[in-house]
Homo-oligomer: A and B are copies of this chain.
């Protein structure tokens, strides 16, 4: 599988005139090699592919499965830069051009690569690996699905516990502990718990504010499972009966989120998914102050291509997992966010597959 991914990348490199490439971005290395020990880089070589590491990889962190088509190269000097060593090895394999990830390499490292192999012409690999990563195979989707189940479980357990009087920070830490309890590698990103006036803020960092009766409580969390990261966000009301403004705002965000979900289909432009959700909020007068995107791809990173945003170019494919996460935050009052991870599927296969299945009814806790 990893060899097949590398072959697809190799074709692209050849087409662009480079016989070799060095991949440095960790998620890209992991995608192509099956493991990404710290600081490791992947050399897509002219004669052989090498995973170049500063030291022996830690098996526990990301298991290394030996593979005939990929050898491990450990630097003699642990303080060396594996990318520089890889450039040297590429030159030794007779490459004359080497594609590198200019969006990831710093200017300083790029210069070091150029000087170790002065005869090597450095080209830009651009986002070629990120593009390969957009459409997932069923094994990747299955990791996301398990991660989503774990996040659903952690969230479900939290809802059964007593919330009033507990701080945002503690609730976030408890959710992260539960993710690990249920088998996650760890949280997919910093868990966000927002209460009262903080609720509805995207990526709110938990504070010491305590949950109070009458609050909106918005929670966003995700599990990493075998490297794959998913995301779920829900908003609840604390107490027995939500206020009218809370019900209205919730229904509105729910309608926007549903519109976004229902727009997901192969061939639909990214911006049209964004517009479907955004116009619901816009027409209710909440167009100002909305965040720049309605959703994004997920996978080995929590934010990857595509972006579901007004200026995004491109169209959805089948087997692309994305979030749909509109929200409204009213300064001083709070707000609502609803966030799911879904996989784009053709209508013949039942349409978008919802991975995060926790209810989206407005629960009063």
Contact = CB atoms under 8 A, between A and B. Distances in A.
A7 B60 CA distance: 47
The range of chain A's interface size is 20 to 34
Contact of A107 (B58, B106, B169): B106
Interface in A295-336: 309, 311
Copies of this protein in the assembly total 2
A103 B106 CA distance: 6
A130 B170 CA distance: 34
A58 B205 contact: yes
A176 interface: yes
Contact of A177 (B106, B124, B177): B177
A207 interface: yes
A255 B185 CA distance: 36
Nearest to A126: B108
A61 interface: yes
Contact of A176 (B108, B173, B309): B173
B79 A311 contact: yes
Nearest to A127: B108
Nearest to A190: B186
A121 interface: no
A58 to B, nearest CB: 7
Interface of A: 58, 60-61, 78-79, 100, 102-111, 124, 169-170, 173, 176-177, 180, 204-205, 207, 292, 309, 311
